[in-house]
């Protein structure tokens, strides 16, 4: 097995993707923030003292996807063509579910960008609500699906396993 992020001297190295084909690529990720009933009620009503929690978390998630290469060592900077961050409120569980989507036409995938968007959106929700509930729980955070590239499409199964479709 050859390690892709080490050069011949064993030093960290960014993978050269110059010769890879440009293909349409996308990725979806998810995360969640579970909180107390009081924090959830404030978030839902829009009367959190720090402002509009979901609007701020959406902007933070989009910005984070665009800055992923600044955060993850050896990650390629990408010219994203689409970043979307959406929220679903689960009143029964006092949980905000976060869904992120990233897309581009490029030589490498956008999984890390989608995961970063979902993660930073979750962290922003935590930051804005922590005065009311410092015991909030973030997660699970995971990749839901990816499309494009040499290895084809992949989607998460119900119990953590994945399914790959070859060639796209």
Return the residue matching tokens 């924090």.
39
Other CB atoms within 10 A of residue 1 CB: 3
Rounded to 5 degrees, φ, ψ at 82 are -155, 130
DSSP assignment string, 33-87: EE--HHHHHHHHHT--TT--HHHHHHHHHHHHHHTHHHHSTTPPP---SEEEEEE
Overall residue count recorded for the chain in this entry: 168
Least confident among 35-39, 40-44, 105-109, 157-161: 157-161
Least confident among 6-10, 21-25, 135-139, 140-144: 6-10
Considering the candidates 21, 24, 52, 127, report the single residue annotated as catalytic. Answer: 127
Tell which residue, 106, 59, 56, 108, has the closest CA to residue 81. Answer: 106
| C-alpha distances out from residue 8 to 25, 119, 166, Å | 30, 34, 31
Res. 112: pLDDT tops 80 = yes
Q: What is the token pair recorded at 23?
A: 């293909």
Res. 159: pLDDT tops 70 = no
Res. 30: pLDDT tops 50 = yes
The C-alpha atoms of residue 33 and residue 93 are separated, in whole angstroms, by 10
Res. 45: pLDDT tops 80 = yes
Helix axes 53-66, 111-129, angle to 10 degrees: 150
Given a contact cutoff of 8 angstroms between Cβ atoms, the answer to whether 85 and 57 are in contact is yes
Annotation marks residue 127 as catalytic:
yes
């Amino acid at each position: 097995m050859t390690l892709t992020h080490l050069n011949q001297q064993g030093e960290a190295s960014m993978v050269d993707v110059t010769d890879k084909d440009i293909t349409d690529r996308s990725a979806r990720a998810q995360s969640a923030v579970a909180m107390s009933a009081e924090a959830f009620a404030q978030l839902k009503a829009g009367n959190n003292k720090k402002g509009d929690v979901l609007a701020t978390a959406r902007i933070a998630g989009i910005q984070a996807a665009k800055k992923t290469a600044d955060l993850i060592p050896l990650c390629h900077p990408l010219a994203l063509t689409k970043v979307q961050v959406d929220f679903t409120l689960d009143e029964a569980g006092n949980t905000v579910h976060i869904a992120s989507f990233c897309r581009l036409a490029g030589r490498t995938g956008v999984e890390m960008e989608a995961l970063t968007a979902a993660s930073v959106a979750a962290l922003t929700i935590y930051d804005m609500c922590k005065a009311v509930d410092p015991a909030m729980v973030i997660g699970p955070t995971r990749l839901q699906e990816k499309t494009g590239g040499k290895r084809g499409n992949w989607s998460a199964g119900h119990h953590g396993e994945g399914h790959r479709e070859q060639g796209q």
